[in-house]
Structure 1
Amino acid sequence: MKVEVSNTANLPTPYGHFKLTAFREWTQNIHGRDCELEHLVISSLELPKKPLVRIHSECLTGDVLHSLKCDCGGELEIALKLIQQRGGMILYLRQEGRGIGLFNKINAYALQDQGLDTVEANEALGLPRDARDYRIVGEIFKHFGLSEIILLTNNPSKIQFLESFARVEREEIFAPQNCHNQEYLQIKKNKMGHLLP
């Protein structure tokens, strides 16, 4: 795996003061074409021995536009607050739409408007329900010397994958539900095995 690491810079935010480091990964997209992905690590000024870690896949609609259709933006905000309080990092992975990309995600949204759920919409487009790849996480953990973490997640697949890089203790993270994301959260629980109430 070819990876390039940026310098580290400061980032003051409404949630507190963080450090930023970018990781450039040379990989292939969902269609097998070579591409570069630039991931971001948002870390507290000091890292504890067992840091709190959130692996957050990019969600432009949720993180930036505050979409009510998902829980992504809410989870990111909760993670930023917790990382500031307890020390740790957010790995902001450029894997929009569970790895299918923004263009495909919007096409999937259009199918959801017609009544399909998130899994059915991806499958109707001939795409996997989850195309994310977490191999870059191993390189990031190596760079920061992480061997044990507290992982903020409800996704058992993330836990299973990351256990090949570090000792993982899970902590749940729940963003507020609303009338727009209730079905989405049920699909995550019932069809994707997420550990949700």
Structure 2
Amino acid sequence: MMDPDDDVRTDLRVAIDDALGHKPGVEQVVTVRLPTTYGEFLAVGYLDRRSGIEQVALVHGDVVGETVLTRVHSECLTGDVFSSTHCECGDQLSAALRAIVAEGRGILVYLQGHEGRGIGLLAKLRAMKLQEGGLDTVEANIALGLPVDARDYGVAAEMLQDLGVRSVRLLSNNPRKREALLRYGIAVTEQVPLLMTPRAENIRYLRAKRERLDHDLPHLDGIPGLS
């Protein structure tokens, strides 16, 4: 089920920026070659002048002028760095980087400030503690008096526009990302599935994402208790 507050927050931000004549809030600060185990990227560092948060895009190949395979990835310390199996974030990050290199060109926008769908690291850990007691990921946030999903993708859109990208093939199972990018002026020609093999530790988490957050996860069909 979509949260109407997401649309209100996004529309309000766009309206205020337009009314005040604000320029994009991101400033490109540095570009540096970044060799990785997946392949070679350019790390393009940005500063969000509104929030003070530092952001980065990993660019592989020539991305200007055509529809570009793109992953907009929300930071997840537990999954991306510590390889937690509670979620699928680390697996998706790796799969996205491999897919971009295999494509020969593409972008991964890594969004800081999105930890725990925007509630922050400590709050996310508290929510995980409640999930140990039987709540799902949505119920845990609500029990803490926190938004189910507080993320905003305006900065990602501004970074893509700065890189010369106006149209993407979006690596995501989340329709809210697609809708948010469209609202911020990035055309999404295709939503490319990024389906990871479920684990025993994240079955309940994935079910909640599908049933309560509208994620498109058809690979869960046929798994006992999930179909």
TM-score bucket (shorter structure): over 0.9
Question: In structure 1, which of residues 22, 32, 37 is the aligned counterpart of residue 53 of structure 2?
Answer: 37
Distance 1:93 1:58 in 2: 6
Give me the TM-score of the superposition, normalised by structure 1: 0.92
Kept in 2: contact 1:74–1:176 (CA 8 A)? no
Cα displacement (A) at 1:151: 0.3
| Structure 2 match to 1:74 | 91
Q: Which residues of structure 2 form unaligned runs of 5+?
A: 1-23, 219-227
Aligned residues with identical type, % of pairs: 42
Question: In structure 1, which of residues 162, 167, 181 is the aligned counterpart of residue 202 of structure 2?
Answer: 181
Cα displacement (A) at 1:26: 3.6
Instruction: Note the aligned Cα RMSD (angstroms).
Output: 1.2
| Structure 2 match to 1:91 | 109
User: Secondary structure of 1:170's match?
Assistant: strand
| Structure 1 match to 2:171 | 152
| Higher gyration radius (CA) | 2
Cα displacement (A) at 1:80: 0.4
Kept in 2: contact 1:156–1:193 (CA 8 A)? yes
| Structure 2 match to 1:24 | 47
Distance 1:176 1:63 in 2: 16
Which contiguous aligned blocks of 4+ residues in structure 1 show a shift greater than 4 angstroms? Answer: none
- Is 1:167 the counterpart of 2:167? The answer is no
Which of the pair is proportionally richer in helix? 2
| Structure 2 match to 1:32 | none
Distance 2:25 2:144 in 1: 30
Distance 2:54 2:80 in 1: 17
Distance 1:108 1:143 in 2: 35
Distance 1:160 1:16 in 2: 30
Deviations 1:155-181 (A, max 9, x none): 111111111322202111111211001
User: Secondary structure of 2:40's match?
Assistant: strand
Kept in 1: contact 2:63–2:165 (CA 8 A)? no
Distance 1:177 1:23 in 2: 34
Which of the pair is proportionally richer in strand? 1
Deviates more, 1:57-66 or 1:168-177: 168-177
